[in-house]
């Protein structure tokens, strides 16, 4: 029990495994619901990250000591028309239905939660907590009331955009359109502040980031991002952005998607094959279930033809070291992006998360520090935002 571990923390040195089991662990971003909408996927059964491609399920959460996970309601960016907005909003609700159904089927081992208090209570029961986030504000269309509707269905953050600009703001992976937040995006930020919903700045452009920081009256999060000084990728945050996030009271959750952790070595064959598949399947937009199934098959096949060299846990913790040095220990956490591309050579799924704690211990982080990194910082922000 936690009481015993708290006592032992004060009286003896804990092993990395004991520390990992003691601290309340939260992964702030996974794309696992993309598996839920497939009828053959069973979240209550153990899967293999290599054979099955899945990174998160209840047995591996238990093995990896993960107490809580944010499940992303992800929608790729499409056209900005009333018809498209209605369609994508319906799809987002389909994903939410699948999350609820999955939780109901595994009620003895897990449950949907909306507050830190609820998550801590589940941990005391030995069950896993499922938080919900929305990745890409695209489904709200131009209707602010849809933010409240998503909130009422359990969503507790919205990643404002994804890899393309949308009606809310510019993306870090697209050209300049709004030069930051759009006028509608400013209203989105205000409405999320009013509701007590966390604003997620991962994926958004630098200008969009600073607009959010200047406008938001509450701390914001980057649910799955890294430090740009360590890996020069526009998806990552610069040192000035890290300092601004800390001044805002927010938190950056370390993403372990390899390309954001360490600059990938050139692999022209892999790049060419991936582009071919993207083109063939229309950027993975507007596909039928059968087309998407075939697209995944061909996309995954690339790994055996032109495998990539993945970054390591040591590379990832280099980012934590840097973020702590720049922003402070109170402003860093972990958001793996599992099932959305996240994974390292020595941390391919949720069962291997203790390897991160082991590396943190090896670098001299205290149990108190690790507790903050693994969940306390994010839960603090969540509590402040919802107050």
Residues 294 and 336 in one domain: no
Model pLDDT, residue 3: 35
Q: Which domain holds residue 11?
A: 2-265+309-386
Q: What does the pLDDT look like over 120-130, one tens digit per residue?
A: 999 999 999 99
| Alpha-carbon dihedral angle through residues 106, 112, 116, 121, given to the nearest 10 degrees | -40
Q: Are 201 and 220 a contacting pair, CB within 8 Å?
A: yes
Long-range contacts, 361-365 (Cβ 8 Å, 24+): 361/16, 361/19, 362/16, 363/317, 363/321
- Please state the rounded mean pLDDT for residues 1-30: 74
Query: Domain check: are 149 and 286 in the same one?
Result: no
Residue 5 in this model has a pLDDT that exceeds 70? no
Question: Tokens standing for 137?
Answer: 């504000």
Are 286 and 218 contained in the same domain?
A: no
Question: Of 282, 308, 334, which marks where a domain is finished?
Answer: 308
Task: Please indicate, yes or no, whether residues 330 and 251 belong to a single structural domain of this protein.
Answer: yes
Q: Is the pLDDT of residue 10 over 70?
A: no
The per-residue pLDDT for range 163-174, each reduced to its tens digit, is 999 999 999 999
194 in the same domain as 288 = no
Six-digit token string for 13: 């040195």
Identify whether residues 21 and 170 lie together within a single domain: yes
Q: Do 13 and 114 belong to one domain?
A: yes
The pTM of the whole model exceeds 0.85: yes
CATH number at residue 206: 3.20.20.140
Do 274 and 179 reside in the same domain of the chain?
Answer: no
Question: Distance (Å, rounded) from C-alpha 69 to C-alpha 25?
Answer: 8
Out of 308, 331, 362, a domain closes at 308
Mean pLDDT (the chain, rounded) = 94
- pLDDT, one tens digit per residue, over 263-295 is 988 889 988 998 999 899 988 877 787 888 888
Looking at the structure of the chain, the number of domains it has is 2
Same-domain check for residues 295 and 150: no
Give the pLDDT confidence of 207-237 residue by residue, as tens digits: 999 999 999 999 999 999 999 999 999 999 9
Dihedrals φ, ψ of 60, to 5°?
A: -75, -30
Show the beta-strand stretches assigned E in the chain.
26-30, 68-74, 110-112, 128-135, 155-159, 198-200, 221-225, 251-254, 332-334
Same domain membership, residue 281 and residue 153: no
| pLDDT at position 282 | 86
Which of 250, 276, 308 terminates a domain? The answer is 308
pLDDT tens string 136-182: 999 999 999 999 999 999 999 999 999 999 999 999 999 999 999 99
| pLDDT score for 12 | 54
Domain match, 371 and 283 both? no
Residues 196 and 302 in one domain: no
Radius of gyration of the chain (CA): 20
Q: How far apart are CA 124 and CA 122, in angstroms?
A: 5
């Amino acid at each position: 029990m936690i009481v015993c571990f708290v006592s032992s923390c004060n009286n003896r040195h804990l092993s990395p495994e004991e520390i990992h089991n003691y601290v309340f662990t939260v992964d702030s971003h996974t794309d696992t619901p993309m598996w839920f909408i497939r009828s053959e996927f069973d979240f209550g059964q153990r899967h293999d990250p290599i054979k099955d491609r899945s990174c998160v399920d209840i047995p591996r959460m238990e093995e990896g000591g993960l107490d809580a996970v944010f499940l992303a309601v992800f929608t790729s960016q499409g056209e900005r028309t009333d018809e498209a907005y209605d369609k994508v909003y319906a799809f987002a609700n389909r994903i939410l239905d699948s999350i609820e159904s999955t939780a109901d089927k595994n009620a003895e081992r897990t449950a949907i939660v909306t507050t830190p208090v609820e998550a801590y209570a589940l941990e005391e029961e030995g069950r896993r907590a499922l938080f919900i986030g929305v990745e890409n504000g695209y489904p709200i269309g131009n209707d602010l009331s849809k933010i409240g509707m998503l909130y009422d269905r359990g969503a507790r953050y919205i990643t404002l955009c994804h890899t393309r600009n949308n009606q809310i703001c510019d993306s870090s992976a697209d050209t300049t359109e709004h030069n930051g937040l759009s006028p509608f995006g400013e209203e989105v930020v205000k409405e999320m502040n009013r509701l007590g919903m966390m604003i997620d700045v991962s994926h958004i452009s630098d200008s969009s980031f600073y607009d959010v920081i200047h406008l938001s009256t509450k701390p914001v999060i980057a649910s799955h991002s890294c430090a740009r000084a360590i890996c020069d990728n526009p998806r990552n945050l610069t040192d000035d952005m890290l300092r601004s996030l800390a001044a805002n009271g927010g938190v950056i959750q370390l993403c372990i998607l390899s390309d954001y952790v360490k600059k990938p070595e050139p692999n022209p064959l892999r790049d060419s094959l991936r582009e071919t598949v993207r083109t063939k399947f229309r950027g993975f937009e507007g596909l039928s279930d059968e087309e998407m199934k075939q697209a995944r098959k061909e996309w995954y096949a690339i790994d055996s033809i032109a495998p990539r060299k993945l970054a390591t846990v040591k590379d990832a913790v280099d980012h934590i070291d840097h973020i702590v040095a720049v922003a402070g220990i109170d402003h860093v956490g972990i958001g793996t992006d599992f099932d959305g591309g996240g994974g390292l050579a020595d941390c391919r799924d949720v069962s291997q998360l203790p390897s991160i704690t082991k590396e943190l211990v090896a670098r001299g982080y205290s149990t108190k520090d690790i507790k903050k990194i693994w969940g306390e910082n994010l839960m603090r922000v969540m509590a402040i935002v919802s107050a």
